[in-house]
Structure 1
């Protein structure tokens, strides 16, 4: 289920430059399109609460996953900016609902078994994202339109989703949910929420804008531009597959803090690179640095209960909401180089916050 989510979102993110070119939007207009995804993510909390309370995590994954695939196809077929904005809004709702369900199921499993597995599971999501972004690069190089691309992947992914649903080792017990539109963390949990907020801004900005940066700043082709996300996801994958063992040896706080500093160095390197191929190395280093933030933050929040997990998720979705317009505004006024440098600055803030978050263990 984690891997399928990665393929879907990687396919979407990998074709953002082509989609933007297809409807001819500026940086500021593209930022508003991506903003709709963040708005949809915030709007998803009542939807995910209803599904989790009525069907449980397993069936919620199937329902939201099928809806997510339908939305992906609609994004590729959107002929105008306004329709693209509506489709991306729905993407935010369905993707966030799926995300909450799979993380809730994973956190429940960790609590039941007492074994750290979240990093490995998020690593599988990275593997899916890597496949999706690489496929996007291939489709772009073959001049295949995003609409055709998304239809081609939606059908086999729907079959794989149903197969995973039937084999998923999880009960259909419903979850007790609070009747709130939003659930924000308080007290010590607020720092975990802030990490989720900053991490979401950083990862989302790199996923949405790295390809645009390569295409505009270096003149990269439609085949090369998505490889920024591919390199970013590849290093995330490698790191997350060994993250649980590293956590046992060094502790989550030290890994997240050090990783954020590494991410900052990688992004500044990408900004100052002489060409697109060298910049790919910078995005790879950034992926290595940010890789363990979300698994350990969600694991720490899940250990405090479902309400805490929902609160941190809400903060993360707020970061998704804030990231696109901020990056778009910076790119519009001072260029894509400064926009990516801003994301590097966010990594420095992440390192500072993580060093003071006691719940990261």
Structure 2
């Protein structure tokens, strides 16, 4: 990626250009939360049990894993700016279609497309962020991911409002697309043209190896937790604590809002305490929050548990993407493969656990992934 994408001083950038990359992160957050907010309604319309829903969500993981070589190829041959536009348009095309697919098989196929599109978009915007971080010489990845959380928080609140107003998932998601296509186009035109990436042009994809394995493992485990919670918090509140369809998305809003707050200060915390301590202590806090949600007897206490979990997991992706981005864009794409395959494979894994052992057992499973992250973080030398 050319260093022309971002110049070395934020103060010299026009206002729209400064806002472009954060806007893309915000867009992805709105998409994730909008889909998660209407998942209970789509699940009920198709009469899916937990195991079948888990199988459907597995399609997202398949699409994610299959798409990472494509994502690296797009960035390598067209530059991250054009790759973000192409994959962003694909995301907005697929999103409302998910609301009208007639059966679980069709919905699983739609999830393959959704997983592929969101993963390509995610790699593209994180490549933009990693390059900006490298050029300006300071940590900003946590702040960029805070914009993702802001989008997720907004999307969850809008999803709650849409459900409360009785809007169908199709109408709701179509309105989301109409709104989001505007910032996608503005961001594309605001960013300067970037050259194709020479490294990715020669080598489109490689799985993490050596010291990068531990980063990939943390990304995978963290993404299982974050991705599962994105899809299952609303279902947990609705099915286990009997929240209404309008109230259930507020659990994810609390989770995303807590991540937003944590990521606003994450870069400063990273500079003061180091990435390794941030990931290990955050994982421990996530375990504690999940424990509260598991034992909660009512919705407010469960939401408090998910808020603490959001505070705990907030540092994981910014720290991992920052560390892998310093090793080059191919390393970033490789680590992202494990990370975002986890985020989209986590929900089906959660579904199978829930089907066999119940919703509380599903949260225990996520607590174990947080414990495994503590162990993995202690083994890597790339988290500084």
Task: Give the TM-score normalised by the residue count of structure 1.
Answer: 0.97
Cα deviations across residues 237-260 of structure 1 (Å, max 9, x unaligned)?
Answer: 001011111111111111110010
Structure 2 distance, partners of 1:91, 1:175, is 25
Match status 1:157 vs 2:152: no
Does 2:292 align with 1:266? no
- Partner Cα separation in structure 2 for residue 323 and residue 180 of structure 1: 28
Question: Matched residues in 1 for 2:197 and 2:308: separation?
Answer: 38
What is the aligned counterpart of 1:206 among 229, 233, 240? 229
Distance across 2 between alignment mates of 1:274 and 1:189: 41
Cα distance in 1, alignment partners of residues 242 and 322 from structure 2: 40
Q: Report the number of matched residues.
A: 360
Structure 1: 5+ residue runs without aligned partners? Answer: none
Q: How does 1:190-339 map to 2 (within 5 A)?
A: 190-339=213-362
Q: Which residue matches 1:90?
A: 113
1:289 deviates by 0.3
Which of the numbers 193, 197, 213 marks the counterpart of 1:175?
197
Instruction: Identify which of 129, 144, 150 aligns with 1:127.
Output: 150
Runs of 4 or more above 3 Å deviation: 178-182
Between 343-352 and 298-307, report the one with greater CA deviation: 343-352
Q: Name the CA distance, whole Å, in 2 between partners of 1:145 and 1:293.
A: 35
Q: Does 1:62 align with 2:115?
A: no
Which segment drifts farther, 282-291 or 337-346? 337-346
Contact kept, 8 Å, 1:183 with 1:314, in 2: the verdict is no
SS of corresponding position for 2:98:
helix
For 1:139 and 1:72, locate their aligned partners in 2 and report how far apart those are by CA, in whole Å. 16
Structure 2: stretches of 5+ with no match in the other structure = 1-23
User: 1:139 and 1:179 mapped to 2: Cα distance?
Assistant: 46
Q: 1:113 aligns with which of 132, 136, 139?
A: 136
Q: 2: distance between equivalents of 1:267 and 1:30?
A: 22
Alpha-carbon distance, 1:207 to partner: 0.5
Distance (whole Å) between structure 2 residues aligned to residue 339 and residue 323 of structure 1: 11
Could you tell me which of 4, 13, 19 is aligned with 2:42? 19
Counterpart CA distance in 2 for 1:23 and 1:236 is 32
Offset of 1:175 from its aligned partner?
1.6
**1:107 touches 1:299 (CA, 8 Å); kept in 2?**
yes
* Alpha-carbon RMSD: 1.4
1:204-236 deviations in Å (ceiling 9; x for gaps): 110111111111111111111111111110000
Partner of residue 98 from structure 2, selected from 51, 65, 75: 75
